[in-house]
Amino acid sequence: MGLTLKQVVPWGRSLADYRQMFALTDKDLETSILDCAGGPSSFNAEATAQGTSVISCDPIYQFSVEEIQQRIQDTYPQIIAALEDNGDHFVWDQFSSPHHLGEVRLATMDCFLEDFPQGRAQGRYQTQMLPELPFETSQFNLALCGHLLFSYSQPLDLEFHLNAIRELARVAQEVRIFPIVTNFAGDISPHLSPILEQLPQAGYHLTVETVPYEFQRGGNEMLRVFPPNHYQSPP
């Protein structure tokens, strides 16, 4: 069965958010980047405008601007209500309230919607989804995956996570996944430990690193993955 908009809860993040979530440096932004499960984030639009080579993939890109915009309007009240009901699970140092956060996210998604038609025509937005991607091996320097893997640990089982991470590490020389906690509950994903155990046995190099971003309480760590033969130890 194909994806329907009723299954999508759009929520976009900006280039500034990505810089913090994935500890992106200026040098990182000079490379080729795959943003997997990019959703309605403005990262592609903003990074492209400053010269970064970015392809974003997400099944939501099969829909039109109008359809995505309507879905944003339909789900926005639900997201704000959930944030209000679970406020103690989040860190409110950057936002004064759920409604303030919502206004920022709406502006971010408006930026995406404005860029989407041109970006899709240019091939910067592609309707692809894990765990299989159509890209060449090592096509990208860096693959980013935010708020999908680990966040949705219950519907996406360990096998899916392993296959998805292997695929991201096939198409990119480095993978960064944020966060490593589950949505709302904020617990470390139960899939993390077996992944940290199994993938190194196949030659992958994995590290869990703290990043300068924490909105979900305790969610300030990312997983970095280097495929076999691409990891270089620090001098």
Tokens of 154: 């219950």
Spell out the domains of the chain, with CATH numbers in brackets.
12-212 (3.40.50)
Terminal CA-CA length for the chain: 49
Instruction: List the pLDDT tens digit at each of the 235 positions of the chain.
Output: 355 556 678 899 999 999 999 999 999 999 999 999 999 999 999 999 999 999 999 999 999 999 999 999 999 999 999 899 988 889 999 998 999 999 999 999 999 999 999 999 999 999 999 999 999 999 999 999 999 999 999 889 999 999 999 999 999 999 999 999 998 777 999 999 999 999 999 999 999 999 999 999 999 999 999 999 766 654 4
| Beta partners for residue 132, in sequence order | 129
Q: Where are the beta strands (DSSP E) in 72-195?
A: 125-126, 142-146, 175-178
Give the pTM.
Answer: 0.94
CA atoms within 13 A on the CB side of 70: 7
Tokens of 60: 């939501």
- CA 141: distance to chain centroid? 16
